[in-house]
């Protein structure tokens, strides 16, 4: 079963991360259980015959899979599968489960064949991008540790000075490690003491990430970043009316200029009037430019869209505010991402298939 858990998967600075460590990180962060639940649901849906994907669905799923991974030719696909010791039949099984897992139908909680489930799960982890997702998550934790201690590297959590805290930490890590070595045994052997050590490092890095998140959520940090985005994070509050033809849209604009309200125009056109609140960056460049120079209450348009022709009425332009929770979150997330990216400094790279 691919991968062998002691094989190197990732390099973080001078440290080599094995597939076993990625598996442990995925388990401890909930990503393994989430993937297990999806494979379980897909297998139950297929075995109950509540979901039976057709040939066209599977062909579309295969095409999307290859596009995401830039596997343009059959040779590219075969090489990708060979790197992960997978057969075409196993890959096709993954496509089938991927389609089934997205079904809105909830399958009955029937018993599943444990051996067949483990094999299917291993294939789904390999084909579904799970290993890369966990590697990226682990990279964030590692970078947070680098942020905490600077460029010199991460200290060993076992060197903590308080003996009681250290004993509690070691005891909890051993208990959790025992549980995971049993749960993950179908994927290969994991040494419990090694798992306990790696768990303590992971927990320390997670605490560093939380500390960094709190730091970059502080008022001074957030206010400074929001000020940097005073132009591109401006928010427009406006009404939007989508009409089927250009003639109808032009007529709506003329009615608005004659003093008829947007609500009345929408009522006459039998179309909904939508109240929207969007940032400049969330709008098409032409729409943002139009709203930037508009007079509140003035009808704007028509503008082409995927659903028809739009007529807009601007209500107000709101500068980004440090008191707005969504704006604060965006600023804090951007600051944290930049700090982690700078700390990683190009020192993270895959050395095995992910």
What confidence score (pLDDT) does residue 162 get? 47
Residue 98 domain-assigned (yes or no) = yes
The sign of the dihedral angle between the CA atoms of 287, 290, 294, 298 is negative
Please tell me whether residues 209 and 242 are part of one structural domain: no
Residue 186 domain-assigned (yes or no) = yes
Please tell me whether residues 112 and 29 are part of one structural domain: yes
Please tell me whether residues 198 and 237 are part of one structural domain: no
Please tell me whether residues 187 and 241 are part of one structural domain: no
Residue 161 domain-assigned (yes or no) = yes
What are the per-10-residue average pLDDT scores of the chain (354 residues)?
Answer: 93 93 97 96 90 92 96 95 96 96 84 84 96 96 85 49 58 93 94 94 92 91 90 91 95 95 95 93 88 92 91 94 89 94 90 94
Angle (deg, nearest 10), helices 130-149 and 19-28 = 80
CA dist 311 and 299 (Å) reads 7
What confidence score (pLDDT) does residue 153 get? 47
CA dist 237 and 270 (Å) reads 22
What confidence score (pLDDT) does residue 152 get? 47
**Please, which residues have CB within 8 angstroms of residue 342's CB and are 6 or more apart in sequence?**
none
**What are the two backbone dihedrals, phi and then psi, of residue 297, each rounded to the nearest 5 degrees?**
90, -15
What confidence score (pLDDT) does residue 163 get? 47
Please tell me whether residues 176 and 287 are part of one structural domain: no
The sign of the dihedral angle between the CA atoms of 64, 68, 70, 71 is negative
H-helix segments, 150-245: 163-183, 192-216, 219-228
Looking at residue 53, the DSSP 8-state letter turns out to be -
**What are the two backbone dihedrals, phi and then psi, of residue 106, each rounded to the nearest 5 degrees?**
-90, 115
Please tell me whether residues 139 and 271 are part of one structural domain: no
Please tell me whether residues 177 and 286 are part of one structural domain: no
Q: Which residue, chain included where needed, has tokens 């604009």? A: 253
Nearest CA among 30, 43, 27 for reference residue 186: 27
CA–CA distance from 346 to each of 21, 29, 212 (Å)? Answer: 21, 24, 20
- Strands (E) in the chain, as ranges, are 8-12, 15-18, 235-243, 273-279, 299-305, 308-318, 348-350
Please tell me whether residues 255 and 164 are part of one structural domain: no
What confidence score (pLDDT) does residue 231 get? 81
Structurally, the chain folds into a number of domains equal to 2
Please tell me whether residues 164 and 27 are part of one structural domain: yes
CA dist 33 and 48 (Å) reads 22
Residue 173 domain-assigned (yes or no) = yes
What CATH number is attached to the domain comprising 264? 3.10.50.40
What confidence score (pLDDT) does residue 112 get? 75
What confidence score (pLDDT) does residue 166 get? 59
Angle in degrees, CA 281, 285, 290, rounded to 5? 105
The pTM is what?
Answer: 0.78
Question: Which range of residues forms the domain containing residue 187?
Answer: 8-213
What confidence score (pLDDT) does residue 68 get? 95
What confidence score (pLDDT) does residue 164 get? 47
CA dist 31 and 28 (Å) reads 8
Contact 262, 273 (CB under 8 A): yes
Residue 156 domain-assigned (yes or no) = yes
């Amino acid at each position: 079963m691919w991968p062998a858990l002691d094989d190197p998967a990732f390099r973080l600075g001078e440290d080599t991360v094995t597939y076993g460590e990625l598996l442990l990180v995925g388990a401890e962060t909930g990503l393994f259980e989430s993937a297990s639940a999806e494979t379980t649901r897909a297998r139950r849906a297929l075995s109950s015959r509540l979901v039976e994907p057709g040939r066209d669905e599977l062909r579309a799923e295969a095409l999307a899979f290859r596009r995401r991974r830039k596997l343009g030719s059959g040779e590219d696909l075969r090489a990708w599968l060979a790197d992960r010791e997978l057969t075409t039949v196993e890959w096709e099984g993954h496509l089938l489960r991927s389609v089934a897992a997205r079904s809105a139908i909830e399958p009955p909680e029937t018993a599943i064949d444990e051996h067949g489930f483990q094999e299917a799960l291993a294939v789904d982890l390999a084909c579904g991008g799970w290993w890369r997702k966990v590697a990226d998550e682990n990279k964030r934790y590692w970078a947070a540790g680098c942020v905490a201690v600077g460029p010199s590297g991460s200290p060993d959590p076992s060197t903590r000075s308080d003996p009681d805290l250290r004993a509690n930490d070691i005891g909890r890590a051993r208990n959790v490690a025992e549980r995971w070595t049993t749960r993950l045994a179908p994927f290969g052997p994991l040494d419990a003491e090694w798992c306990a050590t790696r768990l303590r490092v992971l927990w320390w890095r997670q605490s560093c990430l939380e500390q960094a998140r709190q730091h970059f959520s502080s008022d001074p940090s957030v206010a400074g970043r929001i000020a940097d985005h005073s132009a591109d994070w401006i928010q427009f509050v406006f009404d939007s009316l989508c009409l089927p033809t250009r003639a109808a849209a032009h007529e709506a604009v003329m009615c608005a200029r004659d003093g008829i309200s947007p609500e009345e125009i929408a009522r006459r056109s039998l179309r909904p009037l939508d109240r929207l609140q969007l940032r400049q960056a969330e709008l098409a460049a032409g729409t943002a430019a139009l709203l930037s120079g508009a007079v509140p209450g003035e009808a704007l348009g028509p503008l082409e869209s995927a659903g028809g022709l739009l007529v807009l009425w601007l209500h107000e332009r709101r500068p980004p505010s440090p008191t707005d929770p969504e704006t604060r979150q965006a600023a804090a997330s951007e600051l944290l991402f930049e700090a982690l990216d700078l700390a990683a400094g190009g020192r993270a790279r895959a050395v095995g298939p992910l």
